[in-house]
Amino acid sequence: MSYVIFFIVSLIIPTVAIAVCPLCTFTVGAGIGLAQYFGVDDTITGLWIGGLMVSMVWWTNIWLEKNNITFYGRNIVVAVVYYSFAIIPFYFWGIMGHTLNKYYGIDKILLGIVIGSIVFFAGVVSYEYLKNNNQGKAYFPFQKIVMPVAPLVILSIIFCYLTK
């Protein structure tokens, strides 16, 4: 529920520039819902959860920075809070930590979250790097969306075959 409230508030509050676009975040969120609906493997769902967590942490830290809200370890605290809100309920619901829900001994959702977080973050950072080296312009239309989301799509396809 907190994600829905944050998403609605982020749409209402005008921003000059944000590092992770709202469409990316919405796409990742929709990907999670669709994956669960269609019975997609938990590793793939974890990829999209990881991408969503990176997006939400990034947005929150930018919002805190713009509003001059600073405290010691802010970036880490925000990340820990979001990841805790995502991961802890899975343990209580029995979705994570189940002995039959592992891929090579690692919980499928946790594995997906870690890998998804890394590749989504790498996509966002790569986009920013390329844009900065091109006079602040994207190389192609929708590059800001494609670069963070494409790795999640590619890894989803790969894990689809690996986990069958």
Using CA atoms, how far apart are residues 111 and 45, in angstroms rounded to an integer?
A: 10
Least confident of 16-25, 109-118, 150-159: 16-25
pLDDT band at 50 (very low <50, low <70, confident <90, very high): very high
Q: What is the pTM of this model?
A: 0.76
pLDDT in tens, 57-102: 988 998 999 999 888 999 999 999 999 888 888 788 777 877 877 8
Tokens 């919405």 belong to 26
Give the mean pLDDT of the chain.
Answer: 81
- Which runs of consecutive H residues, i.e. helices, occur in 67-142? 74-92, 108-132
Token pair belonging to 159: 């894990």
Using CA atoms, how far apart are residues 103 and 34, in angstroms rounded to an integer?
A: 22
pLDDT band at 15 (very low <50, low <70, confident <90, very high): very low
- The answer to whether the CB of 55 falls within 8 A of the CB of 123 is no
pLDDT band at 29 (very low <50, low <70, confident <90, very high): low
Using CA atoms, how far apart are residues 22 and 17, in angstroms rounded to an integer?
A: 11
